[in-house]
Amino acid sequence: MCKSSEQHAFLAALPKVEHHIHLEGALSPELLFKLAEKNQIPLPTDDPSFASIESLKLRYTRFTCLDDFLNYYYICMNALITEDDFEMLAWDYFTRAKSDGVHHVEAFFDPQAHLSRGVAYATIVDGLNAARSRAESELGITSLLTSCYLRHLPVHESVATFKSPEVQEHYKNGSVIGVGLCSSENNPPTLWSEIFQEASSIGLKLTAHAGEEGPAEYLANALDHLGVTRIDHGIRLGLDHDPDLMKRVVDNNILLTVCPVSNVVLRCVPHISHVPIRKFIDAGVKFSVNSDDPAYFGAYILDCFCAVQETFDLSRKEWETITTNSIEHSWCSADRKSDLLDALSVVMNTHGARDITLN
């Protein structure tokens, strides 16, 4: 919530596009316990955090770093087994997104984390697609899927997954339209260049996590070797001093999918005021504001918008620019972008387009 109800109403009404949401990161402790019981998946007994929904939620407020979070993230997704489970997971997210004013979603999922447990690719994608179709028809939310490759595993495992016939089939039939790179930033993006080159050659969209915990140099690396048009997180660009790289990101019209609450919860920055939002605005770096793993970080997209507003006191004009950039850098059709821009105009007209701060 924003302190001012007028500010809150404006941010709530903005037609949001979410570019950086890991659907597995929308697995709430409530759904985890339900699925673990249904599927007879035992939760760890050597970690008292798994004793109850409440103790798990408390643990989620105490992450020490990205790897500490990822440990829970990978354990919890073991409870996802059937097509219905994946549908429930995504539907949970879409219903919440609707109440936050989300109109379009470009979501990540982690195939390798499920295939390695014996869950078939079609089970994952069919479940997610069922929720996507329902979200479009019942909630008016359009969405696209990007499969993320896992950077903490040997690159040959990513290559084998990428090349497998069922994964290729879903790229070809358009169920999955993009390729991303996530997990611990312990390997440079360069190593995944073969996948990204092949993905580019078959027309897939390209993005990669870089400069979350890792150095700004990884952004340059992702641009040089992966050919991405978006960078996920990328905050080190505004924290490490590299004016040439900053200029390159601006000149190449790269969008950063920033996740300010995630950065605080995972201690990439000591406080949200250290997320370089103002620096990016002043330098002309385009970015969207996103939740990342909302069920773990206790903040869905509107919470993230409010946290940014409370800290940086942005003007309505600045929010209009952020929303416009988010829409224009989406991977949806030109017609859908035009609908989203129209929805933004309506909100700006209703709430007044005065270039003043909101308080």
Q: Give the total of residues touching ligand HPA (CB under 6 A).
A: 11
Scanning 121-129, 213-221, 222-230, 285-293 for contacts with Zn ion by CB under 5 A, the matching segment is 285-293
Q: Confirm or reject binding of residue 185 to Zn ion (CB under 5 A).
A: no
Strands 255-258 and 16-18, bridge-based pairing:
unpaired
Angle between helix axes 217-226 and 243-251 (nearest 10 degrees) is: 40
Tell me if 233 is assigned to a ligand binding site.
no
Dihedral sign computed on CA atoms, order 32, 36, 37, 43: negative
Which residue's CB is nearer to ligand HPA, number 64 or number 173? 64
DSSP-assigned states of every residue in 54-122: HHHHHHHTT--SHHHHHHHHHHHGGG--SHHHHHHHHHHHHHHHHHTTEEEEEEEE-HHHHHTTT--HH
Tell me if 46 is assigned to a ligand binding site.
no
One residue of 105, 107, 167, 182 binding ligand HPA per CB under 6 A: 182
One residue of 106, 212, 320, 339 binding ligand HPA per CB under 6 A: 212
One residue of 292, 318, 320, 339 binding Zn ion per CB under 5 A: 292
Instruction: Annotate 97-114 with b (16+ C-beta within 10 A) or e (fewer).
Output: beebbbbbbbbbbbbbbb
Distance of CA 58 to the CA centre of its chain: 23
User: Is 83 an annotated catalytic residue?
Assistant: no
Which residue's CB is nearer to ligand HPA, number 73 or number 287? 73
C-alpha to C-alpha distances, 48 to 53, 57, 68, 224, 334, nearest whole angstrom: 11, 12, 15, 44, 50
Q: Site mask, ligand HPA, residues 60-99, x = CB under 6 A?
A: ------x------x--------------------------
Tell me if 339 is assigned to a ligand binding site.
no
Q: Site mask, ligand HPA, residues 128-167, x = CB under 6 A?
A: ----------------------------------------
One residue of 183, 288, 290, 326 binding ligand HPA per CB under 6 A: 183
Name residue 234's amino acid.
G
Shortest reach from residue 259's CB to ligand HPA, in Å: 7
Q: Which two tokens stand for residue 324?
A: 């416009």
289 backbone dihedrals φ, ψ, rounded to 5°: -110, 130
Cβ(111)–Cβ(147) below 8 Å: yes
Catalytic residue among 83, 106, 212, 318: 212
Shortest reach from residue 209's CB to Zn ion, in Å: 6
Q: What number of CA atoms fall less than 13 Å from residue 274's CA on the CB side? A: 13
Shortest reach from residue 188's CB to ligand HPA, in Å: 15
Cβ(278)–Cβ(253) below 8 Å: no
Q: Confirm or reject binding of residue 19 to ligand HPA (CB under 6 A).
A: no
Tell me if 22 is assigned to a ligand binding site.
yes
Q: Confirm or reject binding of residue 213 to Zn ion (CB under 5 A).
A: no
Shortest reach from residue 9's CB to ligand HPA, in Å: 30
Q: Site mask, ligand HPA, residues 266-295, x = CB under 6 A?
A: --------------------------xx--
Q: Confirm or reject binding of residue 230 to ligand HPA (CB under 6 A).
A: no
Cβ(233)–Cβ(174) below 8 Å: no
Which residue's CB is nearer to Zn ion, number 292 or number 318? 292
Name residue 9's amino acid.
A
Alpha-carbon Rg of the chain, whole angstroms? 19
Q: Confirm or reject binding of residue 106 to ligand HPA (CB under 6 A).
A: no
Give contact residues for ligand HPA (rule: CB under 6 A): 22, 25, 66, 73, 182-183, 209, 212, 262, 292-293
Give contact residues for Zn ion (rule: CB under 5 A): 292
Known binding-site residues for substrate equal 293
* Catalytic residue annotation: 212
